[in-house]
């Protein structure tokens, strides 16, 4: 068979995988932070958004935040009393599963808990999320906020989006350059699991339903060597006995500060 004379793209640079390098760096940085900060917090994230997590990092500039592989973070804190770098840091490892991270801070629990309770920015929901309220588009001319605000404060929807609305299942039509809805259309109901089409419509009409929340699961105090579990507003001290250790890898993008 004759040799092909088609032009071939030859890449002159080679890239190396950084997975192992990042793992080693995450482990080393966590172990380096343990003796530097008086408090370690295990925090969980609801409706993860990297933008807001970076805002937390900026506002807590005197602290260090790690959001990476939970198994690596667990090993760095110690999987048992025999492997923990400081007394009882291993008691934090059972909480390192799911969408969680570590926060090393000089700030006491009262300050951190107060900060996270007030930092709750709203964002647009993603597919698979749950609707926090019902949203219904009224029949007639469509406005940019879909009836969420009075018509005199709103503006008519741009005619250019009408074909896209029909593709999403809305019974719309153009009347003298204005988008009109033939009948009331229920975009979502409260408590419903949202699909991609629904989240597209919610974003198009400026309806934000996803609350970015950070909650403290547990925290460790270096002075006493005690771990306190935070749940349902009740703090509970933990002892070494009777604790199981485990961890899963977080599915979110690594963020380190």
Radius of gyration, CA atoms only, the chain: 25
CA angle 77, 247, 229 (to 5 degrees): 65
Q: What pTM did the predictor assign?
A: 0.77
Helices (H), 131-255: 162-167, 196-204
- How far is the C-alpha of 165 from the C-alpha of 160, rounded, in Å? 10
Distance set, CA 171 to CA 96, 100, 138, 178, 199 (Å): 48, 43, 12, 14, 18
- Strand ranges for 9-71 from DSSP E: 39-46, 64-67
In which residue ranges of the chain is pLDDT below 70? Answer: 1-2, 10-19, 231-257
Which stretch of DSSP H or E encloses residue 114? helix 109-118
DSSP state of 66: E
Structure tokens at 213: 């929340």
């Amino acid at each position: 068979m004759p040799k092909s004379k088609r032009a071939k793209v030859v890449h002159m640079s080679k890239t190396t995988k950084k997975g192992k390098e990042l793992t080693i760096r995450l482990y080393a940085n966590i172990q380096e932070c343990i003796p530097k900060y008086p408090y370690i917090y295990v925090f969980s994230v609801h409706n993860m958004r990297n933008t807001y997590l970076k805002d937390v990092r900026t506002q807590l500039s005197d602290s260090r935040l790690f959001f990476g592989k939970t198994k690596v973070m667990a090993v760095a804190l110690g999987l048992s009393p025999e492997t923990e770098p400081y007394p009882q840091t291993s008691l934090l490892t059972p909480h390192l599963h799911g969408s969680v991270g570590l926060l090393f801070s000089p700030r006491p629990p009262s300050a951190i808990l107060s900060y996270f309770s007030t930092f709750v920015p709203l964002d647009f929901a993603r597919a698979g999320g749950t609707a926090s309220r019902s949203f219904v588009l009224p029949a007639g001319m469509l406005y940019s906020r879909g009836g969420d605000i009075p018509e005199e404060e709103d503006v008519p929807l741009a005619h250019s989006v009408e074909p896209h609305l029909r593709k999403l299942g809305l019974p719309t039509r153009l009347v003298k350059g204005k988008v009109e809805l033939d009948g009331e259309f229920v975009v979502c109901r409260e408590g419903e699991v949202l699909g991609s089409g629904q989240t597209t419509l919610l974003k198009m009409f400026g309806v934000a339903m996803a609350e970015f929340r950070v909650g403290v699961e547990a925290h460790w105090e270096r002075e006493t060597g005690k771990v306190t579990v935070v749940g349902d507003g009740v703090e509970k001290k933990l002892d070494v006995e009777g604790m199981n250790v485990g961890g899963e890898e977080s599915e979110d993008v690594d963020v380190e500060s």
